[in-house]
Structure 1
Amino acid sequence: MKTQIQIDYSKCIMCYACIKVCPVHALRSSTQETHVELIEDRCINCGSCYSHCPQNAILYRDSIETVISWINDKQKLVAILDPAISGEFIDVNDYKKFISMIRQSGFHYVIDGAFAADLLANNYKKFLDENKGKYYLFTLCPIIQNYVQKYATKAINNLLPLPILPEMASFLTKKFINEPIKTVYIGPCIAYKDISEFDKSDEVLTFEELRKLFERFEITEIEQEFSSFDFVEGKWGNYFAIEDGILIATNQEQNILNANVISSSGENLFKDAISDFLNYIEIIKKHFNIYYCNGCIMGPAITISGNYIMKKYQVLQYSQKRLKDLDDESWQENINHYLNESLPVTFKNMEIKLPQIPRKQIEDILNYLQINPSFRSCKNCGFDSCEEFASAIAQGIANSEMCIYYNIANKIKLIKKLNLQLEKLNAKIVDEEEKNKKIKEELQLHALIIENIKELLHKIPAGILVVNGENKVEYSNEFFVKILGEEAIEINEIIPGLRGSQIEKLLDISLVNMIEYALTHQEGETQKDILINDKWFNVSVYPIKYRSLAIMLIKDISLPEVNKAEVVDEIKKAIQTELDMVQQIAFSLGEGASDVERILNKVIQIYEK
């Protein structure tokens, strides 16, 4: 068999609904915990995951586009309708109009699957009548067959060797129609799609897909005329859609005290029923009729969920109506004609073998999960006990994240850890805010100091020029600008302090050379007297920061010596209070404050010399 189930990872929210309902643990959470993943060889195509997924993240193989392509290619198509059709299309008032809707979709023939069910019922009855002490698992359900072949292999030889309904119906249809055709079986079961993988039926549409086909072609009952099935019609096979339908069709006693067959159905009971068959058949001594769903009317591809009693009532009413309309003589002739047609069936042993896990390893896993073995299992992981779950982890078909208790415990720990980290982070943020506040205050103070220093330097009766490593002006005072003349004064009005000006455009080449020498030498002090605008000045150039800052001081030689001393004292007195503050914040502000301090000290040194 081939799995028909698919997962849309983009829609999966890891709610574990599918994991919890999977009867064979074919689903587990991914190692990244981002989505569930399918263990394909374990899947039995039951469709429980599909029915229970609240996010529509579980899908099954789509057949609509294949069928539409056949219709567009003018292929001769045959639709075979499952007897459960009456439990699905309760919104269609007359089955004869429903047949017409099928034809309008592009099908040339519409076959009643109930006739194949009648032939299967005859074969079932033959096995019952010829029973020689061997008891069988009666099942028309492909899900049960898949389960037995994988998980209850000891019962393989007790599976009644008859085809399931879609296989038999497709086989007979190709006997009815002696021309090239494509058959499409229409039913309630996802597992039916598996038979199309082996050419026993060309394709299978679920009832859900048939509704989508009607919507695509905008087909409704109101515009239809009556139409009938082609070739043959069923009789008792119409009851096959309900769990005891096979007993009705084979005319079996349904009184549990006298019946030769015991029926069991439902996804929560089928495993127990098979187990009881294997363990207690010599005590029970009856055949078992087992369905995964509560009859085909509750199949996973039925669009109307629930309403079991209403669906069963619809099947009974539909079957009674068909009996009244049936040409019984014609039906019997067809049965006699095809009675000997048989389709050989063999079952394969596809046993899923898993290693036995030592008790000590199971205990270690439970201890890791922080689970006390005496705890009652919540079964949210999909396993019946915590020990079975621990064993499945060791076998690789489950992982620890599937345990709700373990997940919650880990999340509580994580929340506590995150809260602690958050508290530390908040404390750090508060501390940083305090530091930033202090730095901001210091920066404001520094800016004030700088402004005061600039104001002071502007008042010094000497030219001051600070040049950076790119030979550009960082600062110049008004006295320096006036020394340069009218052109410099005009530039200063546009660019205060001539900041950013290239010194080559402002100064004589000899002064430029002095500045460049000071920038490129650690001990690069130079002095010279120079005539500027018919007036002699003493020029001193000193390095402040290697290759980064140099200062030029231009003094008027004509200034009396006494005045020079007074200027030095005035500068010292005015700078002293500012310099103290600069030194205090130099460490936190870095080189900016240190440069200012060096400039001020250098101005004083020059004047003292």
Structure 2
Amino acid sequence: MDYIKFTKANCKNCYKCLRSCPVKAIQFKNEQAKIINDRCILCSRCVLICPQNARKVNTHINKLKNALKNNKKIIVSLAPSFAGNFNFSYKKLIGALKTLGISYVEETALGADITSRLYEKFINNNKMPYYISTACPSSNMLIEKYYPELIKYMLPILSPMACHCKTLKEVYGKDAFVIFIGPCSAKKTEYELHNKDNILDAVITYEECIKLLDDFNINIESSPDIDFDCNSFNSGPHYPIPGGICNNIKDSLKFNNIKPIAVDGVYDCIDVFENIKKGYMKNSFIEVSICKGSCIGGPDMIQNKHIYYNKLEKVENYIKNRTLISNEKLNKKEKDLSIKNFSKNFIDKSLEDIIFSEKEMEDTLKSMGKYSEEDELNCGVCGYNTCREKAKAILKGMAEPTMCLHYMRNKAESISNIIFENTASCVILLDKNLNILEINPAVETAFCVEKNAIKNKHISILMDETDFEYVKNTNKNLLGKKVHCNNYNLVFIENIIYIPKQNIFMASMINITELEKNKQNMKELKKTSFTAAQEVIEKQMRVAQEIASLLGETTAETKITLSNLKKFVNTDDEN
């Protein structure tokens, strides 16, 4: 079951979730984050640290609403960390729950008392080098999935929640609808396990509890003051405080000469498990809690508005001032404890580690732009500590090459540089004062300058600044204007754009100098051609006139000759 999911619409590929995940249980595929359940320990760090709030947590709210609708007898087991997570009296919260339709509200701390007594029995009857507490479901999953060799040291006892809910079912009847309210989403994995055994019907977090009351328009502050129907007589409420379990069984630990060690926070838990693997710290009872500050911190400690020590103080004050209320049936059940009735088996859930060849690793590193050891920056931006860890994740299908920020930046810069360096247009970048930041080779060629010689100098060193001043003062872009740089005999189609985000100006200028020269040459050619044609025509006209004149003279002479010939012929006829 997907206990926690990321919503597709909101994931922005910042990899903050992966960087916060201690076991790298998050897969990125097609630029979308997905939690892989087989690897996840449900510490909730990823979803709570997500800046886009791209989370969707599996909820049992509808189960509870259906139970209310069907008028079921509903029993609440309220985790002892509640006192630190609310800014109002716990009696107001119980009053609000009763107003909602809850039949009974009791402290989970009673289950913690049961767990403590069972721990003591096990320790007194079983000699081991290490005893690891099993009240935290996330630490249990961390061992089962990543330190299976330590399972033999886990105390095979149900968690306080499960112990209490099992007892509530026996006291109030198997048909009672039993829910647990606490700070931890990981408890929902216990629901999946214990619902089949009819121990537990629903798990909701404090956050979901407040939302549920809001849905029913129940104002907690105006609710009546009602106390627990039953709470713990012993030290169960100390469980959410770091060292609380050790404190509860301190007499048995002292009697058996066992050293108590309490660790909270996932990385401290990992550290202590690594020490146990190496055989250090023998003859110890290890109290482990994945959340920093134990259950008082809870998984919402990362973004919770209440600072930890304020929450700790509120829990301690509650423990000190609370009223003790007894339930005879529950008290009798606590005295009649059997490890067999509250036992739990832990199993190896580890994934087989895949060994990849050096060739596969090298090919994958190259796909990330890592061609040598110098390219392996091991910056951790992608969420993996080293580039080689990232390469392994890619081979396992957990990551993508594009997750490397440096690789993508270099790739983008490479493409940008290719375009910038090879474009035929002249490109000039200017700062807010119109000083030259960058020019491309086309500018160097056109203006016969070197980049370093004019960098950080005013644009007027190259060309008239009037158009640039206009764009600067009006914030209006200038597009498609023909300009002449007479000092350099250059002509451009000028585009000047203001980029507000970077507060810079970009001039992109198409060099049309040769085109303009060609136009001028064509104009001169046309003029010359016209003049030559005119001269030819005039000459032809003169020739024509001369020919005409000559033709006129010869025609007159011919006419005279013919006239004389005619006279001569006529004279012969008369004779």
Q: TM-score band (shorter)? A: 0.5 to 0.7
The 3-state SS of whatever aligns with 1:290 is strand
Describe the shift of the 1:105–1:425 C-alpha distance in structure 2 as closer, same or farther (beyond 3 A).
farther
Alignment check: 8 A CA contact 1:381 1:402 kept: yes
After TM superposition, give the deviation of residue 380 of structure 1 in Å.
2.4
After TM superposition, give the deviation of residue 170 of structure 1 in Å.
1.4
- Per-residue displacement from partner, 1:558-604 (whole Å, max 9, x unpaired)? xxxxxxxxxxxxxxxxxxxxxxxxxxxxxxxxxxxxxxxxxxxxxxx
Describe the shift of the 1:253–1:183 C-alpha distance in structure 2 as closer, same or farther (beyond 3 A).
closer
Residue identity matched to 1:400: P
Aligned to 2:267: 268
Distance in 2, matches of 1:271 and 1:179, equals 39
Map 1:209-228; keep pairs closer than 5 Å: 209-228=208-227
Describe the shift of the 1:337–1:254 C-alpha distance in structure 2 as closer, same or farther (beyond 3 A).
closer
Aligned to 2:573: none
Residue identity matched to 1:344: S
Aligned to 1:388: 389
After TM superposition, give the deviation of residue 355 of structure 1 in Å.
0.9
Describe the shift of the 1:168–1:411 C-alpha distance in structure 2 as closer, same or farther (beyond 3 A).
farther
- Runs (5+) with no aligned partner, structure 1: 442-609
Alignment check: 8 A CA contact 2:231 2:324 kept: no
- Per-residue displacement from partner, 1:3-22 (whole Å, max 9, x unpaired)? 40111101111111111111
After TM superposition, give the deviation of residue 334 of structure 1 in Å.
3.8
Distance in 2, matches of 1:21 and 1:4, equals 18
Aligned to 2:187: 192
Aligned to 2:526: none
Distance in 1, matches of 2:26 and 2:298, equals 20
Q: Determine whether 1:201 maps to 2:200.
A: yes
Distance in 1, matches of 2:345 and 2:393, equals 31
Aligned to 1:155: 150
Describe the shift of the 1:423–1:248 C-alpha distance in structure 2 as closer, same or farther (beyond 3 A).
farther
Distance in 2, matches of 1:240 and 1:422, equals 69
Alignment check: 8 A CA contact 2:72 2:176 kept: yes
After TM superposition, give the deviation of residue 40 of structure 1 in Å.
2.9
After TM superposition, give the deviation of residue 213 of structure 1 in Å.
1.3
Aligned to 1:308: 308
- Per-residue displacement from partner, 1:171-202 (whole Å, max 9, x unpaired)? 11101102521111101111111222230411
Q: State which of 69, 72, 76 in structure 1 corresponds to 2:69.
A: 72
Aligned to 1:483: none
Aligned to 1:405: 406
Aligned to 1:482: none
After TM superposition, give the deviation of residue 333 of structure 1 in Å.
4.5
Distance in 2, matches of 1:253 and 1:424, equals 84
Distance in 1, matches of 2:172 and 2:415, equals 67
Alignment check: 8 A CA contact 2:262 2:287 kept: yes
Describe the shift of the 1:280–1:410 C-alpha distance in structure 2 as closer, same or farther (beyond 3 A).
farther
- Per-residue displacement from partner, 1:137-190 (whole Å, max 9, x unpaired)? 213110111121111111112111011222222111101102521111101111
Aligned to 1:164: 159
Q: Which deviates further from its counterpart, 102-111 or 37-46?
A: 37-46
Map 1:541-580; keep pairs closer than 5 Å: none
The 3-state SS of whatever aligns with 1:42 is coil
Residue identity matched to 2:173: N
Aligned to 1:319: 319
Alignment check: 8 A CA contact 1:139 1:291 kept: no
Distance in 2, matches of 1:137 and 1:381, equals 33
Distance in 1, matches of 2:334 and 2:62, equals 38
Q: State which of 168, 176, 180 in structure 2 corresponds to 1:181.
A: 176
Aligned to 2:416: 415
After TM superposition, give the deviation of residue 122 of structure 1 in Å.
0.8
After TM superposition, give the deviation of residue 330 of structure 1 in Å.
6.6
Q: Determine whether 1:102 maps to 2:97.
A: yes
The 3-state SS of whatever aligns with 1:222 is coil
- Per-residue displacement from partner, 1:472-515 (whole Å, max 9, x unpaired)? xxxxxxxxxxxxxxxxxxxxxxxxxxxxxxxxxxxxxxxxxxxx
The 3-state SS of whatever aligns with 2:122 is helix
Alignment check: 8 A CA contact 1:29 1:398 kept: yes
The 3-state SS of whatever aligns with 1:104 is helix
The 3-state SS of whatever aligns with 2:135 is coil
After TM superposition, give the deviation of residue 84 of structure 1 in Å.
0.9
Aligned to 2:506: none
Residue identity matched to 1:343: F
Aligned to 2:238: 239
Alignment check: 8 A CA contact 1:265 1:290 kept: yes
Aligned to 2:356: 357
Distance in 2, matches of 1:236 and 1:415, equals 66
The 3-state SS of whatever aligns with 1:126 is helix
- Per-residue displacement from partner, 1:360-389 (whole Å, max 9, x unpaired)? 433443344344546563222332322222
Distance in 2, matches of 1:417 and 1:70, equals 66
Describe the shift of the 1:186–1:421 C-alpha distance in structure 2 as closer, same or farther (beyond 3 A).
farther
Alignment check: 8 A CA contact 2:28 2:398 kept: no
Describe the shift of the 1:161–1:320 C-alpha distance in structure 2 as closer, same or farther (beyond 3 A).
same
Residue identity matched to 1:388: E
After TM superposition, give the deviation of residue 329 of structure 1 in Å.
11
Alignment check: 8 A CA contact 1:28 1:402 kept: no
After TM superposition, give the deviation of residue 304 of structure 1 in Å.
2.6
Describe the shift of the 1:63–1:327 C-alpha distance in structure 2 as closer, same or farther (beyond 3 A).
closer
Q: Determine whether 1:287 maps to 2:305.
A: no
Alignment check: 8 A CA contact 1:78 1:183 kept: yes
Alignment check: 8 A CA contact 2:41 2:141 kept: yes
The 3-state SS of whatever aligns with 1:20 is helix
Distance in 1, matches of 2:329 and 2:245, equals 18
Aligned to 1:572: none
Q: State which of 334, 337, 340 in structure 1 corresponds to 2:338.
A: 340
Distance in 2, matches of 1:310 and 1:113, equals 22
Describe the shift of the 1:337–1:136 C-alpha distance in structure 2 as closer, same or farther (beyond 3 A).
closer
Map 1:113-128; keep pairs closer than 5 Å: 113-128=108-123
Distance in 2, matches of 1:252 and 1:390, equals 50
Aligned to 1:61: 58
After TM superposition, give the deviation of residue 37 of structure 1 in Å.
2.4
Q: Which deviates further from its counterpart, 334-343 or 164-173?
A: 334-343
Residue identity matched to 2:309: I
Map 1:33-52; keep pairs closer than 5 Å: 33=31, 35-52=32-49
After TM superposition, give the deviation of residue 244 of structure 1 in Å.
1.0
Residue identity matched to 2:177: K
Describe the shift of the 1:43–1:366 C-alpha distance in structure 2 as closer, same or farther (beyond 3 A).
same
Aligned to 1:132: 127
- The number of equivalent residue pairs is 428
Residue identity matched to 1:216: D
Residue identity matched to 1:247: C
After TM superposition, give the deviation of residue 104 of structure 1 in Å.
1.2
Describe the shift of the 1:125–1:368 C-alpha distance in structure 2 as closer, same or farther (beyond 3 A).
same
Alignment check: 8 A CA contact 1:184 1:203 kept: yes
Distance in 2, matches of 1:127 and 1:228, equals 34
Alignment check: 8 A CA contact 2:27 2:397 kept: no
- Per-residue displacement from partner, 1:319-353 (whole Å, max 9, x unpaired)? 1112xx32689799446544337323111222111
Distance in 1, matches of 2:328 and 2:74, equals 25
Alignment check: 8 A CA contact 2:23 2:39 kept: yes
Distance in 1, matches of 2:94 and 2:203, equals 17
Map 1:521-540; keep pairs closer than 5 Å: none
Describe the shift of the 1:354–1:332 C-alpha distance in structure 2 as closer, same or farther (beyond 3 A).
closer
Describe the shift of the 1:403–1:326 C-alpha distance in structure 2 as closer, same or farther (beyond 3 A).
same
Residue identity matched to 2:18: I
The 3-state SS of whatever aligns with 2:288 is strand
Aligned to 2:474: none
Aligned to 2:247: 248
Describe the shift of the 1:421–1:309 C-alpha distance in structure 2 as closer, same or farther (beyond 3 A).
farther
Describe the shift of the 1:276–1:327 C-alpha distance in structure 2 as closer, same or farther (beyond 3 A).
same
Describe the shift of the 1:263–1:5 C-alpha distance in structure 2 as closer, same or farther (beyond 3 A).
same
